[in-house]
Structure 1
C-alpha cells in the first residue's frame, strides 16, 4: 500500500513538470537580457535586477528538474532521448545556481556574460529536446510552410484505389500523421508503439489495442471517439483530431480483420466506406458514383456544420473538393422534427441522409423534401408514416430509401411511384402487403425491393437418411 501511495504522489508531483519548466525558461532569459542591457552605461541601473530574477529562475529550474525526474519514472520515453534532455536540464539548473553565487559574492565578473550565454544555449537545447519527447521529433519541421504538406482535412487521392494496400496506403498515413508523435520508438505513451504492424499487434501496457475484428472493443478505435472532455481520448485535447473520413477508414480496417497485406478490393465495403473511398479517387476518374452528383457546389458554411455537430450529428464530405456531404445522426438519437430545420442551410450540399433510430417523423420529411440533391435516405426504425411519404415526391434525385421498421403501409409506398429515380427500397418489418408490392414492382420494374424474411435454400447435406441395418 505504501509503495502504491508513494508512486501516485511521485506521478502527481511529476506532472507539474510541464508547468514548472516554463518558469526558468522565462526568468533565465529575462536575466540574460538584463545582463546584456546593463552593459550600456545609461542602463547600468538594470544590473541590480539581475540577481533577484536569476535567483527566482534558478529555484524554479531546480524544482522543474525534480518534477521532471519524478515524471520520468512513469516510463514511456526513449531512454537515450530522456537522458539527453534530463542532463541538459540539470546543466541549466547548475549553471543558474552557479551564476547566483558569482553575482552574490561578486566573483569572476568578466565571466558573468559568457556563462550566461552558455546557459541560454543549453536552455534552448533542453527545451527543444523536451518538446521532441512530448510532441515527436518532427514537431517543428512538420509545420514549415515549405515542408511536406499534409492536409488534415483532405483525404489523399490514390490512383489505383482497388489495388491499394489498406494498411500501407490508407491506415499507416493516418497513424503517422495523428498518432506517431506520442507512440513511437522515442516516446512510448502507455507503453504503446504504433509505428509498424508488429508494434500494433503487440499492444501496450493494457494489452492488445485491436480485438477480434470489433472496433467498438478495440482500444485503437474506442479512444478516438470518446468525448473531448474524457482524459482517455486520443489524440488528447489540443492536438489535431482525426477527420470523419480517417475514423471511418480505421473502423473499416479493424472490422475487416486489420490485415497488414489486404488490398481495398479484397475487403467488403459498406455504403459509408464506399463514399469515403470515392472521395479518394483522383478527380476526373471514369468511375462515377451514382449516389454523388457529378457537378460541384460551394462548401457548406462552417457555422451551419457546427450547428449540426453541436447536437451530435456527423457531417462528412463525400468526395474531394466537390462540396457535397453526408449527414449521419448515429450519435444523435434525439434528432427529430425540430432539429430537421438545421438541415435546410445545407440543402444544396446534402446527398446522403442517415436518420436511423432517431425521432424523425412526418414533419421532418416535409423539410427533407427540400433537399434537391438527396440520393440516399435512411429512415430505419423512425416514427415515419404514410403521411410523411407524401412529401418525398419533391426528392427528384432519391435513389435509395430505407423504411425498415417504420409505420408505412400500402398507401404510402404506392406514393413512391412519383420518385422515378428510386432504385433501391427496403421495407422489412412494415405493414406493406404482397398485393401492394406487386403493384409497385409492376409500375417500377427496375427498382430493387427488399422485404427481408430471407429463407435459406435446402441443401442435400441438410437431410440425413438413416437406414436400419439388417441382421
Structure 2
C-alpha cells in the first residue's frame, strides 16, 4: 500500500489516475448496451442480438476494472470528501465485480434465467456510482441548481432595491464563487483542502494556510490565483474551466481590499472609480424602468480577441449590464490613449454603448472613429484635446444621448453643429470655452437638451456663518 501511495503521488501515478474520467464512461455505455441487447434478444425475432452480448459485456467488464484502478490512483491525490469518495469507490468496485461475474455466467450459460435480474442489480449500482461520481466532481446540487422550478437567484437577479443597500458578500461575492469555484471547493470535493462554500470556510483557508490577507488582495491567494497566466498550474479556475470576467475579478479584489467583511453593504465600504463602474453595470434598471442608456436591441457577446486588444493597452472593457452583450469602454488606466488607439474601438462598434475617454490624449480625429459606433449612448471627453473642429462628426451619432465636454476648448459656435443630432439629451460644459451668451443661444436652439455649465454655488445662510472679531484692548 505504501509503495502504491508513493507511486500515485508522483507524476506517473497521478498521470494514470487522471484517465479515470475518460475510462469511466466506457463501462457505463458498454454495460448498459449489453443489458439492453440481452433484454431484446428474449424476443423471438430479435434472438440474433444475443450473439453480441458477451463481446460487449467483456469489453465493459475490462473497462470497469481499468476505471476502478485509475479512480483509486486519482483518489490518492486527495481533495475529496472521505465519505462520498468511499461510497463511490465501493459502488464502482461492485459494478466491476458483477460485470466480471456476468461474463462468466453468460459464457458458460449458468443461471441463464436469473441473468437479467443480476444485470438489473448491476445497472442500479452503475447508476448510483455515476451519481456519486458526479457529486464528487460537481457538487451535490449540480443538477438541482439548474432546475427551472425553485432555482436559486443569481447575482444579477438579486440586485434589486437601492444599490447602496446591496450586501457585498451575499449578493456580489458569493454568487461569483458559487458559479466559478464551488465545483472544486465544496463539502464533497476539497481541492487543496479548501472550501469556498461559506464565509467560515473561506476564513479558515486550506492546506497551504489562509487564502485571505488583511485588506491585501495582492497577498491573498483567493485573488492572486485569479490573475495568474492561463498557463500557470496554480491559476484558478484552471485552464479549460469557465473563467471569471473582469467585473467578477474586480468585485473579489474590492471585497478583500475593504476587509472581506461577511456583512457589509455597499454604503459601508469605500468605492473606487473602478468598482463604481462595476456596480453601475449591475444595475440595468432604474425605478422599475429600462435604463435609457442601454440599447434596446439585443447584441451577442463581443469577440474575446477584440476585447484583449484593448485590455492589452490598459483599457477596461466591461458589460453595461448583467447578461448584456453591450459594453462600456473605460480608459481610466490608459492615459496615453490617443487618436491612433481609437481605431481599436471599431472592431467592437456593434457592442459599445458607453465610452469614457476622460483625461486621455484623444483629439478631433478620434471623433471620426467614435461617430462610427452605432449604439453609443454615453460619451465622456472631459479634459481632452477635442475642439470645435471635431464636433460635426458627432452630429451623425444617432444614438448619442449624453456628452461630457468638461475642461475642453469647445465653443458655442462649434456646439451648434450638434443641433442636427436629434438623440442628444445631456451636454456638460463646465470649464469649457463656451460663454454665457452662447449658452443662452444653445438653449434656445436645442430646447430638448439639458445644458449643464457647472460651477454651482450654494447660498450662504446667516446661521452657517461664524464671524470672528478681534477684541479691542481697553
TM superposition score normalised by structure 2: 0.74
1:398 aligned counterpart, secondary structure: strand
- Pair 187,322 (structure 1): closer, same or farther in 2 beyond 3 Å: closer
- Looking at structure 1, the residues matched to 67 and 93 of structure 2 have their Cα atoms a distance apart, in angstroms, of 9
Say what the alpha-carbon RMSD is for the aligned residues: 3.9
- Looking at structure 1, the residues matched to 322 and 310 of structure 2 have their Cα atoms a distance apart, in angstroms, of 23
Unaligned runs of 5+ in 2: 395-399, 416-425, 440-451, 456-474
Contact 1:363 1:388 in 2 (8 A): no
1:68 maps to which residue? 71
Residue in structure 2 matching 1:376, options 376, 380, 385: 380
- Looking at structure 2, the residues matched to 101 and 321 of structure 1 have their Cα atoms a distance apart, in angstroms, of 56
Contact 2:79 2:189 in 1 (8 A): yes
2:404 maps to which residue? 399
- Looking at structure 2, the residues matched to 19 and 364 of structure 1 have their Cα atoms a distance apart, in angstroms, of 53
**Between 325-334 and 55-64, the greater mean CA deviation after superposition:** 325-334
Matched, 1:41 2:44: yes
1:246 maps to which residue? 248
- Pair 387,441 (structure 1): closer, same or farther in 2 beyond 3 Å: closer
**Between 204-213 and 13-22, the greater mean CA deviation after superposition:** 204-213
Matched, 1:414 2:402: no
Contact 2:187 2:195 in 1 (8 A): yes
Work out the number of aligned pairs and report it.
Answer: 413
Contact 1:155 1:280 in 2 (8 A): no
2:356 aligned counterpart, secondary structure: strand
TM-fit CA distance, 1:353:
2.9
Unaligned runs of 5+ in 1: 403-412, 426-436, 449-471
- Looking at structure 2, the residues matched to 202 and 31 of structure 1 have their Cα atoms a distance apart, in angstroms, of 48
Contact 2:367 2:390 in 1 (8 A): yes
- Pair 83,303 (structure 1): closer, same or farther in 2 beyond 3 Å: closer
TM-fit CA distance, 1:122:
0.5
Matched, 1:92 2:68: no
2:257 maps to which residue? 255
Matched, 1:269 2:275: no
- Looking at structure 2, the residues matched to 263 and 168 of structure 1 have their Cα atoms a distance apart, in angstroms, of 9
TM-fit CA distance, 1:324:
5.9
2:142 maps to which residue? 139
- Pair 283,180 (structure 1): closer, same or farther in 2 beyond 3 Å: same
1:105 maps to which residue? 108
1:14 maps to which residue? 17
TM superposition score normalised by structure 1: 0.74
